Amino acid sequence: MKKILFVASEAVPFIKTGGLADVVGSLPKCIDKRYFDVRVIMPKYVCIKQQWKDIMEYKTHFYMDYHWKKEYVGIFEAVVEGVTYYFIDNETMFNGMKPYSDNAYEDIVKFAFFSKAALSILPVIDFKPDVVHCHDWQTGLIPVYLKERFQGGEFYQNIKTVMTIHNLKFQGKWDVKTIEEITGLPQYFFTPDKLEAYKDANLLKGGLVYADAITTVSDTYAEEIKTDFYGEGLNGLLQARSKDLRGIVNGIDYEEYNPENDKLIANRYNAVNFRKEKIKNKRALQAELGLEQNDKKFMIGLVSRLTDQKGLDLVSYVMDELCMDDIQIVVLGTGSEKYENMFRHFDWKYNGKVSANIYYSEEVSHKIYAACDAFLMPSLFEPCGLSQLMSLRYGTVPIVRETGGLKDTVEPYNEYESTGTGFSFTNYNAHEMMAAIRYAEKVYYEKKREWNKIIDRAMAADFSWNVSAAKYQEMYDWLIG
């Protein structure tokens, strides 16, 4: 049995701020249990809901040298759908209302602690992984630590590491001196060929230099991050390591996101009966959100973190123009104040037509995926994107910009060949986006049969984990040798 350890800062069902949690919560379940024993380590945030804390069982605790002090490291365990999770407990480190704070320094202290603790508990829980699979900057120190101090003991010999980039934008950067102190790593590591980047220390870079393999969450993003535009300053390093870098597109949990037995939606449906049944979800959502009750209105959904990454300045630029059209727009998201207020403003201005829901709700997100006709995702960059996959699964036609995973998962509609699962545009330009939306509107209003065939193809597309989980397995096998 090969042992794989996921280390990550969030996972469904315990805590989620974005797609990372969906991936870490669903991929381990889909790895073949006959050959792999996959376990997950994550922080026990104070803000995790009581319901989930209740299923965690206290195992033991010890004290670990960290940042000039001895820090408490508690270990909790829970098993969910056959996957064992370990939680690192330290209420001072993992306090706060959210997993991440607005203070970069605090987060670095927190996740450097987490990374060191995750390695330190392994002998205690008696689990020696063949591969540690690290996710994003929060775990970037793990490959570094494994090459350094943990090599002293025999326990840590021959552990391979994978670093998966879910979002290159976030790297965990601070000045070298401070990071040296926090991590206890010697000066040797803080040179431009190791953790240093542009005079600062960079935790993700450490992971990318020292990991045995690097992956990211789509083929297109794997190529994009080797360029200046998408490379966030690490494109040189990624080019240098391109032999060890591969793209594996994300899947989604086909049990959790299934219009046929989704308990969160008003009316269940499938690929056969959506023509009659999907509409009932639209009616219910229009009623719930106070939108005009009208079966025919082209309803566009947007469920997203409200940040620059998601292309919302394009939306803001043409929102007035868009609202002149015969449409409804339903937004669910939280994030930067400028976008939250922008959508609140348009909700007020076009009441009955625009609904801005500025909060986080699993339930409302499912209702939107089920109710809308189209889903808008005009991202500036998108490593993979899961929302468009959820939309496809619910027969809600994605309108996306051709970047990263959006390009790899949404096939643009071709009216001559009657192919495609969505609508797309190439350049980061509000009028190109408008043209794509208007094209979708036109097909919806004027060629309903064509529109329904797009839905047929969207719902037939397979973005379950089947194929991608096999690719991860192949990579683990190759690493272990």
Q: Does 252 bind ligand GLC (CB under 6 A)?
A: no
Structure tokens at 167: 């979002």
Question: How many CA atoms lie within 13 Å of 280's alpha carbon, on the beta-carbon side?
Answer: 11
- Picked from ligand ADP, ligand GLC, none, the partner binding residue 360 (CB below 5 to 8 A depending on kind) is ligand ADP
Tell which one of 32, 57, 295, 362 touches ligand ADP (CB under 6 A). 362
Residue 367 Cα distances to 215, 265, 289, 400, angstroms: 32, 5, 11, 20
For residue 383, the minimal CB distance to ligand GLC (Å) is: 4
Q: How many residues bind ligand GLC (CB under 6 A)?
A: 14
Q: In Å, how far are 54, 130, 266, 284, 395 from 278, measured between CA atoms? A: 37, 46, 9, 10, 9
Minimal distance, residue 78 CB to ligand GLC, in Å: 22
- What gap in Å lies between CA 99 and CA 85, rounded to an integer? 17
Q: Which is nearer to ligand GLC, 133 or 278 (CB)?
A: 133
Tokens 């299923």 locate to 55
Q: Residues 377-416 vs ligand ADP: string with x where CB under 6 A? A: -------xxxx-----------------------------
Residue nearest to ligand GLC (CB): 19
Identify whether the C-beta of residue 455 lies closer than 8 Å to the C-beta of residue 421. Answer: no
Tell whether residue 382 is a contact of ligand GLC (CB under 6 A): yes
Among the residue ranges 95-103, 147-155, 382-390, 407-415, the one whose residues contact ligand GLC (CB under 6 A):
382-390
Identity (one letter) of the amino acid at 130? D
Query: Which is nearer to ligand GLC, 98 or 442 (by Cβ)?
Result: 98
- Residue 141 binds: one of ligand ADP, ligand GLC, none (C-beta under 5 to 8 A by kind): none
- Distances in Å between the Cα of 6 and the Cα atoms of 2, 93, 135, 210 are 13, 20, 8, 17
Shortest distance, position 137 Cβ to ligand GLC, whole Å:
12
E runs forming strands in 282-353 = 298-306, 327-335
Integer Cα distance of 278 and 267 in angstroms: 7
Residue 217's binding partner among ligand ADP, ligand GLC, none (Cβ under 5 to 8 angstroms by kind) is ligand GLC
Nearer to ligand ADP, 59 or 305 (CB): 305
Indicate whether 337 belongs to the interface with ligand ADP (CB under 6 A): no
DSSP 399-460: EEESSHHHHHH-PBPBTTTTB-SBEEE-SS-HHHHHHHHHHHHHHHHH-HHHHHHHHHHHHH
Residues 215-244 that bind ligand GLC (CB under 6 A): 217
Which residues would be at the binding site for ligand ADP (CB under 6 A)? 18-20, 22, 303-305, 332-334, 360-362, 365, 384-387
